[in-house]
Structure 1
Amino acid sequence: MSRHRRGRVITVVTLILGVLCCTVVLYGCSGSGEPVDATAGETASQTVFGSEHTGASQITDISQAAHATASTRPQQTVATSTERFTRENWAELLADSEAHIGARAEIVGRLLESPRRRDDGVSFQMYADPKNYDWNTSVSFPDPFVEVEIDDFVRVVGTVEGAMEGENEFGESITVTLISADVVEVVDVMAAASPAVRTAQVGQSLEQHGIAVTVDRVEFALDETRVFVEAANGSGSTAGFYDLVNAEATQDGTVYPAQFHWDYYPAVSWELPPGETTAGIVVFPPMDATLSVEILLQARSEDYDLLLEPFVFEVAGD
C-alpha cells in the first residue's frame, strides 16, 4: 500500500474513534450534563434502616469524641399517631410494626452488637427484652458521638419507622422493629428490671468470724424476686461466696432455689480478700409479695479452721 493511501486510512480510523469517544461521554451524562454516579443504585438498594440507615459495607468508623452518655436530638421522624408503646405493650408492636408507623416508643434495652457510626449518625441493634434476649430492635440516632457500646443498657425514646426482615447470627429469620430515636441514654441494669410489686427494706447484717453478710432489701416482682446482698471480709483469710449459687428462699413451706442470670445483674464476688467488700443481687423465682420469707445464704473461708454456718435472714410479710 502506498504511503499516501496509508495516510488516508489512518485519518479515517482516527475520525471513527473520535466519534465513538464522544458518544460514550454523552451517554454517560445525565440530562443536566452531570456525570451519572455509578454507585447511586447500589446505595439506594442498601438503604434498609428507615430513611437514614445505610448498608454495613458503607459505614465509616468515626473516632469517639468526649460526649455525654445521655443525648437528645431533634426528632427525625414526625409522630403521626397518638399510640405510645412501652414495655407493657411492646409485644403488640412486635406483632405488626408496619401497622404502627409513626407511633411513639419508649423502651430500655441492651446493645447486642457494637454500634455502626456514620458522619450523620449512629445505628445499633438491641434486645428490648434483655433478660430473655428477645424483642430484637434496630435504633437509629442522629449523633455519631453518643457514648454507647455493646452490652450497654440504654433508654430509647423515639418514633416507630416500621420493620425489617433479616437473619440473626444463627441464620434464623427474624423481624426487627425500627425506631428513629430522639433520646438515647445509657442506664444501669435496674432500669430494665421488671417493676417491684413490693420492696421489703431489711437492712440486717450477720457476722461470723469477721465475715459479715448484709441483706439490704428484697424486691418482689411479678417475674422474679431480687435480694440485694452486701458482704465484707474482716477476717485474715480470703472469703468465698461460691455457695451463693445454692442460696435458698423458703416461703409458706415451699423452697425456692436461687436463679443465676450470668452477665446480667451485678453479682457478689466469688472470692473476697481480707479487708474488701462486695455487693450484688441474688435472684429467686417470683414469690407472694404479701407473705414473709426466709432467705438462706452461705459463705466459706480459706481458713478451714473457721466453720461458717448458713446466714439466715427473716423478711417480714406485708
Structure 2
Amino acid sequence: MRKLLSLFFAFGLLLVAAGCSSEQSSTSKNDDKKQESKEPLSKEEFTKMISNPDKYKGSKVDFYAKIFVEPEKDDDGIYIQAFADPKNSEQNVIVVADPKTDVKNEDIIHVVGTVRESFEGENALGGKVTAPIIDAEKVEKTDYVTAFSKPIKTIEVNKEINQHGYIVKLNKVEIAEDETRAYVTISNQSNAKINFWEHNAKLLVGNTQHEKADNFEAGYPEIPTDILPKTNVEAIIPFPAIDANEQVIKFYFEGSSENYDINIEPFQFEVSIAQQ
C-alpha cells in the first residue's frame, strides 16, 4: 500500500516544489503575522484537516509522523511523505521542508508548520488520493515512544537476577495506552555465548498471561540471536496494554547458555505498580 501511495506523488512532488516559492512569495507579511498568533490545530481538528485541507489553509499544525518512502530533494526543499497515524497507515501528509533537513524513510519526525493546501492525485490502481501539503518551519527526528506512545505511568525497577554470569536486569516498566514496555539489560559475564528467547517473554497480570506483542512501527532495538561473552544488550520488550491501576504485575523471561554444564532457570520479576 505504501508503495502504491508513493507512486502518484513522484510527479506530484515536482508540482509541489514548483508552487512552493510562488505561493510563499505571494503571502503578505500581515497574513504571516496573523498566522503566527494562532494556536496549532488540536488533535481533533488535525484529523478533520486531513479530510479537508483547503478548509484549514494557513492553520498552524504541530504533529508527529512516520516517513513511509524515501524523501525527494532539490535545491528548493525536501519533500516528505509520511503517515501521522503509522499503525493504521493513515493520515497521509506531504511535508515541504528546508533542503538541509536530514531525514530518511522509516524515520519518525516531529513537524511544526502551516497547512498550505490540498494535494490530489491517483495511486497505481487509479484511485483518488488526497493529502495536505504542510510547509514546515521545523522538522526533527524523534522516537516512537515520544511521538505515539507516551507513558501513562513509569515504574523504576532496577532489579537484576544473576545466574552463572548470565544477568538480566529489569530497568523500568512503562504503561502506555497502546502497550506495556519492559526495559531490559541482558549482560553476559560468563565465558560462553548465551541466548535470550525474546518471543517466550510473558507478562502476568492477576490470572491472565500476556505474550510478547509485535510493534513493527516502533523500531525497538532487536536482540541478537547470540550474545557473546562480556557484552551487554539493551532491549525494549512490548506487551499488550494493561490497566494502569493494577497492583502487581510479573514478568517472565527465558534464555539459555552454550555452557551445557549449567542450567538457566526462567528470570522472574514481580513489580508493584500501585501508587506510582
TM-score scaled by structure 2? Answer: 0.81
Structure 1, 262-271 or 252-261: larger mean CA deviation? 262-271
Tell me the secondary structure at the aligned position of residue 99 of structure 2: coil
Structure 1 residue aligned with 2:114 = 159
Greater percentage in strand: 2
Structure 1 residue aligned with 2:7 = none
Once residues 17 and 58 of structure 2 are traced to their aligned partners in structure 1, the CA distance between those partners, rounded to angstroms, is 15
Report deviation, 1:257: 1.0
- 1:60-209 → structure 2 map (5 Å cutoff): 78=32, 79=35, 82=38, 84-85=40-41, 90-141=46-97, 143-167=98-122, 173-209=128-164
Would you say the 8 A contact 1:154–1:186 is kept in 2?
yes
Question: Is the aligned partner of 1:234 residue 2:189?
Answer: yes
Provide closer, same or farther for how the CA distance between residues 304 and 175 of structure 1 changes in structure 2, counting only shifts above 3 A: farther
Tell me the secondary structure at the aligned position of residue 229 of structure 2: coil
Question: Is the aligned partner of 1:307 residue 2:275?
Answer: no
* Alignment match of 2:249 (pick from 274, 277, 293): 293
Report deviation, 1:132: 3.7
Matched residue count: 253
Report deviation, 1:306: 2.7
Once residues 193 and 124 of structure 2 are traced to their aligned partners in structure 1, the CA distance between those partners, rounded to angstroms, is 41
Once residues 125 and 171 of structure 2 are traced to their aligned partners in structure 1, the CA distance between those partners, rounded to angstroms, is 41
Structure 2 residue aligned with 1:245 = 199
Would you say the 8 A contact 1:86–1:107 is kept in 2?
no
Once residues 257 and 126 of structure 2 are traced to their aligned partners in structure 1, the CA distance between those partners, rounded to angstroms, is 47
Report deviation, 1:168: 5.1
Once residues 289 and 219 of structure 1 are traced to their aligned partners in structure 2, the CA distance between those partners, rounded to angstroms, is 10
Gapped regions of structure 1 (runs ≥ 5): 1-42, 55-74
Report deviation, 1:305: 3.0
Once residues 125 and 174 of structure 2 are traced to their aligned partners in structure 1, the CA distance between those partners, rounded to angstroms, is 35
Would you say the 8 A contact 1:249–1:256 is kept in 2?
yes
Structure 1, 156-165 or 130-139: larger mean CA deviation? 130-139
Structure 1 residue aligned with 2:19 = 51
Structure 2 residue aligned with 1:274 = 229
Tell me the secondary structure at the aligned position of residue 52 of structure 1: helix
Provide closer, same or farther for how the CA distance between residues 123 and 86 of structure 1 changes in structure 2, counting only shifts above 3 A: farther
Once residues 77 and 124 of structure 2 are traced to their aligned partners in structure 1, the CA distance between those partners, rounded to angstroms, is 24
User: Residue type matched to 1:307 in 2?
Assistant: N
Report deviation, 1:81: 8.4
Report deviation, 1:45: 11
Once residues 135 and 144 of structure 1 are traced to their aligned partners in structure 2, the CA distance between those partners, rounded to angstroms, is 24
Provide closer, same or farther for how the CA distance between residues 171 and 272 of structure 1 changes in structure 2, counting only shifts above 3 A: farther
Report deviation, 1:146: 1.8
Structure 2 residue aligned with 1:214 = 169
Provide closer, same or farther for how the CA distance between residues 161 and 281 of structure 1 changes in structure 2, counting only shifts above 3 A: same
Tell me the secondary structure at the aligned position of residue 91 of structure 1: helix
Show CA shifts across 1:279-305 (max 9, x none).
121111110112121111111222333
Report deviation, 1:110: 2.0
Gapped regions of structure 2 (runs ≥ 5): 1-10, 23-28
